[in-house]
Structure 1
Amino acid sequence: MKVTETKLKGCYIIEPRVYHDHRGCFFESFNQQEFEAAIGEKVDFVQDNQSCSYKGVVRALHYQVGAYAQAKLVRVLRGRVLDVAVDLRKDSPTFGDYIAVELSDENKKQVFIPKGFAHGFITLSETAEFFYKCDSFYQKEAEGGVVYNDPDINIDWMLPKDEIILSDRDASLPKLKDARL
């Protein structure tokens, strides 16, 4: 696998080795030993999540705080999304900065998002099936979020505002300056 650290320390883009032949393709989507050697730390994933979304759906920007903070390894099983990670580590020189990576069933890229980041994505294809591993169990009382269109972060979601579909919860999330970190 090819592992590339992004401008946000600890956040990596992972590209598996894909083997193609006349039958299709094969790749290892996760190998804990190789993964940990590449990022230089031990990560024990305990929960897998999967969502299906229509074009324009934004699921963002979510995180968990305190002892329930989560590291995530995210990928797309079908379709295409723009995946976004925002650095929420107050002592980080990149606090409030973000990366955006196109993930698809074609490019098979993955993103490792460490603890201390908000995460979200927008579906760019007609539908998308999104899959991610978490290293901590979800706890409702620990959930936090930042509104997707916070002007201080200024994420380009690649679709016009009138094509964006949000849940009521995501539409009412606070700006980063007002978020519980």
Structure 2
Amino acid sequence: MRATELGIAGAWLFEPTTFPDHRGSFVAPFQGSAFREALGFDLIVAQTNRSVSHRGVVRGVHWADVPPGQAKYLWVAAGAVRDVVVDLRVGSPTFGRVEVVELAAEPLRAVYLSEGLGHAFQALADSTVVGYLCSAPYDPAAEHGLTPLDPDLALPWLDDVEPVLSDKDRAAPTLARARAAGALPTWDACRDRLARLHG
């Protein structure tokens, strides 16, 4: 498995090998040893999630309070997505930077994002299935969101379909409003969390 850190610290792309044969194919989306070799610690999995989305559906931009935060490791089991990572950590050298990765069931690639990073995606096909490994269980009191339509972020959603959002995501604040309200995680808190993971 090849692991590559993206342009935001704590965001990684994992590319496992797919083994095709006359029956179909086999791939291991998550491999603990490859993850540990790349990041220097084991991924704690407290919850697994699965979402199914129609083409054009946008989920996010979401993050959780740090501490404890919620890291995510995700891949597409069917269909395809445009996956977006946003650096929300106030004080980070890449605060506000956006990384975009296209993920599909074939060839399968996975994205990991550490605590404090915002995450969103748009489904590029009907019946798109995304699987997530989460480092902490869902806590509605600690979960937050930004509007994925924030004009300052200008996230690259599809031009030929109106984004389909939840009411919660549509009503979420912009990045500027969330920062002004003190709702965003800090770079220092996220680095402290990473230091604890490294033991």
> What TM-score do you get using the length of structure 2 for normalisation?
0.86
Name the counterpart of 1:163: 162
Name the counterpart of 1:83: 83
1:5-154 correspondence runs (5 A) = 5-154=5-154
> What TM-score do you get using the length of structure 1 for normalisation?
0.95
Deviation per residue, 1:148-179 (Å, 9 max, x gap): 0112211111234x521111111000001112
> Alpha-carbon deviation of 1:43?
2.1
Distance 1:109 1:159 in 2: 24
Moved over 4 A (4+): none
> Alpha-carbon deviation of 1:117?
0.6
8 Å CA contact retained: 1:68, 1:142: no
Distance 2:172 2:68 in 1: 19
Distance 1:95 1:130 in 2: 26
Range with bigger deviation, 14-23 or 71-80: 14-23
Deviation per residue, 1:67-124 (Å, 9 max, x gap): 2411100111000110111011112111011111111111211000111111111011
- Identity score, percent: 38
AA in 2 matched with 1:5 = E
> Alpha-carbon deviation of 1:42?
2.8
Distance 2:53 2:28 in 1: 25
AA in 2 matched with 1:169 = K
> Alpha-carbon deviation of 1:126?
2.0
- Unpaired runs of 5+ in structure 1? none
AA in 1 matched with 2:175 = L
1:34 alignment partner, SS class: helix
Name the counterpart of 2:192: none
Distance 2:92 2:117 in 1: 11
Distance 2:73 2:62 in 1: 14
Deviation per residue, 1:47-80 (Å, 9 max, x gap): 1000111011101101111324111001110001
2:144 alignment partner, SS class: strand
2:90 alignment partner, SS class: coil
8 Å CA contact retained: 1:68, 1:139: no
Specify which structure has the higher proportion of strand.
1
Name the counterpart of 1:178: 177
1:100 alignment partner, SS class: strand
8 Å CA contact retained: 2:29, 2:109: no
8 Å CA contact retained: 1:56, 1:159: no
Distance 2:39 2:72 in 1: 13
- Unpaired runs of 5+ in structure 2? 185-199
AA in 1 matched with 2:70 = Q
1:140 alignment partner, SS class: coil
8 Å CA contact retained: 2:66, 2:116: no
Aligned length: 180
